[in-house]
Amino acid sequence: MNTLNDLIAAARRQAVAGPLADTRAEGARVMGICNSCRYCEGYCAVFPAMERRVEFSGADLDFLANLCHNCGACYYACQYAPPHAFGVNVPRALARLRLQSYERFAWPRGLAGLYRRQGTAIAFALALALALFFALAIALAGPRGFVSAHAGAGSFYAVLPHGLMVAIFGASFLFSLAALAVGAVRCWREINVPGPNAAPASSAATAQATRDALTLRYLDGGGDGCYVQNGLDFAPTSQRRLLHHLLFYGFLLCFAATGVGTIYHYGFGRQAPYGSFSLPTLLGTAGGLGIVAGAAGLLWLRRVRDEALADPAQAPLDRGLLHLLLWTAASGLLLALLRVSPLMPTLLAVHLGFVLAFFLLLPYGKFVHGVYRSLALAKHAREARTPNPVGFADS
Amino acid sequence: MGLPVGDVDVLVAGGGNAALAAALTAREAGASVLLLEASPKLWRGGNSQHTRNLRCMHAAPEDVLTDAYSEDEYFDDLLRVTGGRTDEALARLTIRSSAQVRRWMRAHGVRFQPSLGGTLHLARTNAFFLGGGKALVNTYYQAAQRLGVKVHYDAEVEDVEIEDGRFRAAQVRHDGATLRMPARSFVAAAGGFESNREWLREAWGEAADNFLIRGTRFNQGRLLRALLARGAQAIGDPTQCHAVAIDARAPLYDGGIVTRLDCVSLGIVVNREAQRFYDEGEDFWPKRYAIWGRLVAQQPEQLAFSIIDSKALGRFMPPVFEGYRAGSIVELAGTLGLDAGRLRATVERFNAAVQPGRFDHALLDDCATAGLSPAKTHWARELDAPPYFGFPLRPGITFTYLGVKIDEQARVQLASGKIASNLFAAGEIMAGNVLGQGYLAGIGMTIGTVFGRIAGAEAASAALRTAGAR
C-alpha cells in the first residue's frame, strides 16, 4: 500500500494550504474545491462564473477576485472553512488576489508599491498638498488676508486665484484620470481574454452590469445582506450596502455640485462661494453629509467586522480612502458653514489639501476597486448571456 | 464552564437539523429548552453541515421546484430503493409533511435556491438550501438564540435513565465530568454511529478499518447505544448505511460532497486484483452512486480504481483531487500500484467486448459490451485515448440506519412493547424506520425536519402536561 499512501499524502498536501502558498496557487486551489461543491452558487456572481471554468488561470482568478464583493456569505456557509483541514476561505483568498491585481494594473508601474505603503503614501500626499495650499494662500493673500474674514462672491478667489486652482486640480485630476484609464484598459485586457468564455458586447449586458454596479447587487449575499459580525452568531445585514450607497451617491452629488459650479462660473459668470440655497451648495451639502455618514459608518463597521473575512494587508487601503473622503467632506462642509469668517482661508487651504491628496492617490488606493469591479461585472454580464462552455452531461 | 442543572422542560440531545427543528418547535410551543451538542461550536451541526437539499412532495411547480412530485411517486421511489424495507405509515407521514415543511423552514430563516449546476436531475424533487446545510444550521442556531433556546457545546449525552417507560434524566459528559440532567421530556437527535470505528467493526468486521466517514467525527453513537441498552426497541440492520464510493484520498472525516467521484459510469472500475466487479453503466450515476460504497466495501482491502481515458474529460463534475495520469495502461497500473499485466488484460478484454453504438451520456445509450462478465450495459467505450486517469475509491459512509423504533408521534418504542411517553427521537437516530436500506437523495433532511418538528411539539406538550399536573 505504499504507493497509495504516498499518493494520499501528496493529495492531502495538494488540498491543504501551506503558509507560503502563493496567492494564485491558493486561489486556484480554493476555486477547485468550490467547483466540486457549488453549494454557494446562489450567493453571488463569483460561483456561476467559476462554474464556467474547469481550470483557473491568472486571468480567470483576477476576474473572479474583482467580481467578489466580500459579503462573507460563502465563508460562514462553507463546510470546508477552518478548522476543516481544507481551510477554505474564499473572501480572503480573493481579496489577496484583488490587491495583487491592483498592483499589476497600476500605471506607471513604479507607483504600484503605493498600495502596500498606503499609510506613508497618504501622509506624504496630504502633507504635500496641505503645505502647498497654505504656502500659496499665505503668499498670495498675504499673512493678514489669510486670517481675516472674507465675504461675497469671489471671496475664495481672493485667497487663491481661480486660475491657479483650475491649473492645480485640472493637472492632478487629468493625471489620475489617465492612470485610472490605463489601469482599466489593462484590467479589461486581462479579464476579457479570448477563449471559451469570450462573449460579445451587447446593450443588454452593459445595462445589466451598470445596474449591478449601481445597486451593489452582489453585496446582498443572495438576498439577506452582507456579514459584519461572525455568521455563526449573527445574521447578515444591509448596513454595508446602505453605507456604501451613502458614500458613493454622496460622492456623485459632490461631483455634480462641482459640475454645476463650473457651469455657473463659465456659463453665467457667477463665482463661488454660492448662497446657502443655491444648487451647488445644496448638492454639495447633501453629498458631503452622505460621504461623512457613509465613510464614518464604514470605518465603524470595519472595527466590528469579523477579521476572518478580510486581508489584513488591505486594512490601510480601506481606512485610507475612507479617511480621505471623510475629511475631504467634513472640511468642505465646515468651509461652507464658515465661509464668511476669519477661519475661511484656513479651512479653504485644508479642504483643498484633502481634495488634492484624494485626487493624487485616486489610482493608487482603494478607489480603483470600483473601476475593476465594474469591469468584472461587465465581463460577467456578457459571458452569462452565452451557454456555459463547461456543460457536464447532467444525467 | 459548568452546565446549568435546573428546571428544564425539554432536553434535546444533538445539534444538527433534527435537533434544531425539535428545539425550535418545542420552544415555540412554550417549553423551556436546553440543547446539548456534543461537538465544539465550530464543528456544530453534525452531518447536516454537509447536506444541501431536502426531497419534497409538491402538487405543482413551486419557487425552486419544477413540475410536480406526488405522494405516490415519492413513495414508489422510496419502495424501490429500500426494497420494501420501510414503515409505510411513517414513510407516508414523512412524505406528506414534506409538502408543508418548507414554509416552516423559511419562517425560521432558511432560504432556497434552484438546483445547483450539475444537479438538474434533482430540480423537480429536491429543494436546495441557499449556501447548503451549514448555512441552514447557522440560521437555526440564530433562531434558537432569538427564541431563548439554551445551547451547550461540548456536551455529549452518554446515558439515559428510563423508569417505568418514562425518561427521567440524562448523563451528560462535559468538561471532563459527567452530570445528571433531569428533564420533563427528552428528544434524542444525536445522529448515528458511523464515526465510531469499533462499532463499525462489530458490524462490518475488519473491512470497517478502511471506511472513510463523509461527515462529522462526533457521531459516536453513544446515545443510540445507551437507548438500546436501556430498553428501546432497535430498528434496522447495523450493516445498513448510506455509503458511496468516494476518492480514497479524502480526509478521514468531513470530506463531504467534494470527495464524490462522478466518472464511474464513463470508464471501468477495477479492484486491487485489477478485475472489474460490477456493471459501471447499469443506470444513470445519480441513481447508482449509493450502491457503490457497498460494492467497494466488498472488494479486497475495500479499495477500487475508476479508470477513464481522455474521452471522458469534461463530461463529469470536476473532482477535488486530480486523477493519476499516465500515457499508457501499463504505466497507470504502476502508478496505482496494480499488477500491470492483469490491468492490461482486463482493459483489453473490456475493449474487445465493446460493441458499436451511439454514445450519449445524457441517455441510457446503446453502447454496451457483449460476452463480458460483468457486462457494462451503457456508455461502454473502449479505453484507448491516452492520457489515462485513475482515481482510487474507498467506501465513504454518510450515515447509518440502525436506530430506535418510533411511532407517528416520534415516541420511542420500548422492547417491552410499551411506548415511552416522554422520550422522542428524530433524525438519523430513527431514520431506519423509513430507510431500511438504500438511499433517496435528500430524504435524510426530510426525515430530520419532519420528525424533528413532531418530536419537538410532542416533547413540549408532554413536558407541559407534566409540569401542569404538579
pLDDT tens-digit profile of B69-96?
999 999 999 999 999 999 999 999 999 9
C-alpha span between B315 and B11 (Å, rounded): 49
Cell numbers found for residue B190: 444525536
Report cis status (omega within 30 of 0) of the bond before A83: yes
Cell numbers found for residue B79: 419502495
Mean residue pLDDT across chain A = 91
DSSP string, A277-299: TSHHHHHHHHHHHHHHHHHHHHH
Backbone φ and ψ of B118, nearest 5°: 90, 5
Q: Which residues neighbour B227 within 8 Å (Cβ) at sequence distance 6 or greater? A: B160, B188, B404, B412, B425, B429
Instruction: Spell out the long-range contacts of B418-421 with Cβ–Cβ below 8 A and sequence spacing 24 or more.
Output: B418/B165, B419/B165, B420/B162, B420/B165, B420/B166, B420/B167, B420/B232, B421/B165, B421/B166, B421/B462
C-alpha span between B262 and B245 (Å, rounded): 10
Q: Residue written as cell 491649473? A: A167
Q: Do B317 and A392 touch (CB under 8 A)?
A: yes
Residue A152 pLDDT grade (very low, low, confident, very high; cuts 50, 70, 90): confident
Residue A3 pLDDT grade (very low, low, confident, very high; cuts 50, 70, 90): low
Task: Provide, as residue numbers in chain A, all residues whose Cβ is less than 8 Å from the Cβ of B120.
Answer: 394
A67 min Cα distance to partner chain B (Å)? 18
CA distances to B31, B223, B420, B459 from B165, in Å: 21, 17, 5, 15
Q: What is the pLDDT of residue A19?
A: 38
Q: Do A392 and B118 touch (CB under 8 A)?
A: yes
C-alpha span between B270 and B280 (Å, rounded): 10
Task: Provide, as residue numbers in chain B, all residues whose Cβ is less than 8 Å from the Cβ of A84.
Answer: 254
Task: Provide, as residue numbers in chain B, all residues whose Cβ is less than 8 Å from the Cβ of A8.
Answer: 248-249
Q: Do A42 and B113 touch (CB under 8 A)?
A: yes
Nearest to B376 by CA among B267, B284, B299, B273: B267
C-alpha span between B457 and A238 (Å, rounded): 34
Q: Do A84 and B254 touch (CB under 8 A)?
A: yes
Q: What is the pLDDT of residue A395?
A: 39
Q: Do A39 and B336 touch (CB under 8 A)?
A: no
Q: Do B258 and A36 touch (CB under 8 A)?
A: yes
User: Which chain B residue's Cα is nearest to A230?
Assistant: B138
Backbone φ and ψ of A258, nearest 5°: -65, -40
B233 DSSP 8-state letter: P
Beta strands B155-163 and B166-174 are: antiparallel
B41 min Cα distance to partner chain A (Å)? 9
C-alpha span between A226 and B355 (Å, rounded): 56
Beta strands B185-188 and B241-247 are: unpaired
Q: Do A235 and B109 touch (CB under 8 A)?
A: yes
Selected residue of B214, B301, B320 to mutate for chain A interface (largest A Cβ count, 10 A): B320
- Quick check: B129 and B51 in contact, CB under 8 A? yes
Using CB atoms, which residue from B116, B134, B316 is nearest to A79?
B134
User: Which chain B residue's Cα is nearest to A82?
Assistant: B42
Q: Do A77 and B131 touch (CB under 8 A)?
A: yes
B209 min Cα distance to partner chain A (Å)? 14
User: Which chain B residue's Cα is nearest to A47?
Assistant: B117
pLDDT digits (tens, 9 = 90+) for B203-258: 999 999 999 999 999 999 999 999 999 999 999 999 888 899 999 999 999 999 99
Residue A9 pLDDT grade (very low, low, confident, very high; cuts 50, 70, 90): low
Q: Based on C-alpha coordinates, what's the Rg of chain A?
A: 24
Q: How many CB atoms lie within 10 A of CB A326?
A: 20
Give the mean pLDDT per block of 10 residues along chain B (470 residues): 74 98 98 98 98 97 95 97 96 98 97 88 95 98 98 98 96 95 97 96 93 97 98 93 93 95 96 98 90 95 97 90 95 96 98 96 94 97 97 95 97 96 98 94 97 98 83
Strand-pairing partners, residue B423, are: B186
Using CB atoms, which residue from A12, A83, A388 is nearest to B42?
A83
Nearest to A291 by CA among A341, A358, A344, A246: A246
End-to-end CA distance of chain B: 32
As for the ipTM of the complex, it is 0.95
Sign of the Cα pseudo-torsion (B114, B115, B120, B123, in order): negative
B111 min Cα distance to partner chain A (Å)? 9
Q: Do A37 and B117 touch (CB under 8 A)?
A: no
- Is the model's pLDDT at A18 over the cut of 50? no
Q: Do B130 and A223 touch (CB under 8 A)?
A: yes
- Is the model's pLDDT at A20 over the cut of 60? no
DSSP string, B358-418: ---TTS--S--BSS-SS---SS---S-SSSEEEEEEEEEEEEE--EE-B-TT-EEEBTTS-
Q: How many CB atoms lie within 10 A of CB B360?
A: 14
Task: Provide, as residue numbers in chain B, all residues whose Cβ is less than 8 Å from the Cβ of A12.
Answer: 249, 251
One fold for both B10-237+401-469 and B243-396? no
Q: Do B132 and A40 touch (CB under 8 A)?
A: yes
Sheet holding B166-174, edge to edge: B155-163, B166-174, B177-182
C-alpha span between B336 and B268 (Å, rounded): 14
Q: What's the maximum distance between 2 C-alpha atoms anywhere in chain B?
A: 80
For residues B36-54, b (16+ Cβ closer than 10 Å) or e, as one string? Answer: bbbbeeebbbbbbbbbbbb
- Is the model's pLDDT at A29 over the cut of 80? yes
- Is the model's pLDDT at A2 over the cut of 50? no
C-alpha span between A197 and A191 (Å, rounded): 10
Residue A218 pLDDT grade (very low, low, confident, very high; cuts 50, 70, 90): very high
Domain B243-396 has CATH 3.90.700.10: yes
Using CB atoms, which residue from A78, A388, A394 is nearest to B121?
A394
Its CATH class, for the domain covering B10-237+401-469, is: alpha beta
Using CB atoms, which residue from A38, A232, A393 is nearest to B117?
A38
Q: Provide the 3-class DSSP secondary structure of residue A18.
A: coil
Q: Do A11 and B265 touch (CB under 8 A)?
A: no
Q: Do B42 and A33 touch (CB under 8 A)?
A: no
Task: Provide, as residue numbers in chain B, all residues whose Cβ is less than 8 Å from the Cβ of A39.
Answer: 52, 116, 129, 131-133, 135, 257
A24 min Cα distance to partner chain B (Å)? 17
Beta strands B212-213 and B388-400 are: parallel
Torsion angle in degrees (nearest 10) through CA of B202, B203, B204, B206: 0
CA distances to A370, B286, B294 from B260, in Å: 39, 11, 14
Sign of the Cα pseudo-torsion (A285, A287, A291, A297, in order): positive
CA distances to B38, B39, B221, B248 from B156, in Å: 4, 8, 10, 30
Nearest to B140 by CA among B30, B42, B61, B25: B25
Q: What is the pLDDT of residue A10?
A: 52
Run of H or E including B12: strand B10-13
Cell numbers found for residue A204: 443588454
C-alpha span between B91 and B82 (Å, rounded): 11
A237 min Cα distance to partner chain B (Å)? 13
pLDDT digits (tens, 9 = 90+) for A155-189: 889 888 999 999 999 999 999 999 999 999 999 99
Using CB atoms, which residue from B141, B256, B286 is nearest to A79?
B256
Using CB atoms, which residue from B249, B320, B392 is nearest to A36?
B320
Strand-pairing partners, residue B112, are: B129
Nearest to A156 by CA among A129, A131, A137: A137
Task: Provide, as residue numbers in chain A, all residues whose Cβ is less than 8 Å from the Cβ of B139.
Answer: 235
Q: What percent of chain A has pLDDT over 70?
A: 94
C-alpha span between A311 and A99 (Å, rounded): 9
User: Which chain B residue's Cα is nearest to A74?
Assistant: B131
Q: Do A77 and B337 touch (CB under 8 A)?
A: no
Q: What is the pLDDT of residue B116?
A: 86
The ranges assigned to domains in chain B are 10-237+401-469, 243-396
Task: Provide, as residue numbers in chain A, all residues whose Cβ is less than 8 Å from the Cβ of B50.
Answer: 79
Q: Do A393 and B362 touch (CB under 8 A)?
A: yes
C-alpha span between A71 and A220 (Å, rounded): 7
Q: What is the pLDDT of residue A142?
A: 83
Strands in chain A per DSSP E: none
User: Which chain B residue's Cα is nearest to A78?
Assistant: B134
A45 min Cα distance to partner chain B (Å)? 13
Q: What is the pLDDT of residue B3?
A: 63
- Quick check: B46 and B15 in contact, CB under 8 A? yes
User: Which chain A residue's Cα is nearest to B134?
Assistant: A77
Q: Provide the 3-class DSSP secondary structure of residue B127.
A: strand
Run of H or E including A308: none
C-alpha span between B296 and B277 (Å, rounded): 9
User: Which chain A residue's Cα is nearest to B284?
Assistant: A395
Mean pLDDT in residue range A89-95? 95
Mean pLDDT in residue range A278-294? 96
Run of H or E including B206: none
Using CB atoms, which residue from A4, A35, A38 is nearest to B392?
A4
C-alpha span between B467 and B8 (Å, rounded): 10
Nearest to B428 by CA among B16, B2, B9: B16
Q: What is the pLDDT of residue A8?
A: 54
- Is the model's pLDDT at A4 over the cut of 80? no
Amino acid identity for residue A52 in this structure = R
A63 min Cα distance to partner chain B (Å)? 20
pTM of the predicted model over 0.90: yes
